[in-house]
Structure 1
Amino acid sequence: MKKKAILVASIALLFISISLQPVSAQMTSIQSIELQEATVIEKFMDEIERIASESQTSCDFIEHLQDLCLNGEYRNCTIVREFISRILQFLIKERGISIGGININDLLGNLSSKFRPDYFVISYGTYNRLNPLKGNSIDLFKGRLSMWRYTGASNLLKGRTLILERHPFGIHQKMIGPQLGFMKGFKGIYLDVESKLTGNAYVMFMGRVDRIRAFELTPLSK
Structure 2
Amino acid sequence: MKSSNITWHNSKVTKEDRQKQKDHKSPVLWFTGLSGSGKSTVSVELEKALYEYGAHTYRLDGDNVRHGLNNNLGFSPEDRTENIRRVGEVAKLMSDAGLVTLTAFISPYREDRDHVREIMDEGDFIEVYVKCSLEECEKRDPKGLYEKARAGEIKGFTGIDAPYEEPYNPEIVIETDKMTLEESVEHIMNHLKDNRLI
| TM-score for the superposition, normalised by structure 2 | 0.30
* Structure number, greater radius of gyration: 1
Higher relative contact order (CA 8 A, sep 6+): 2
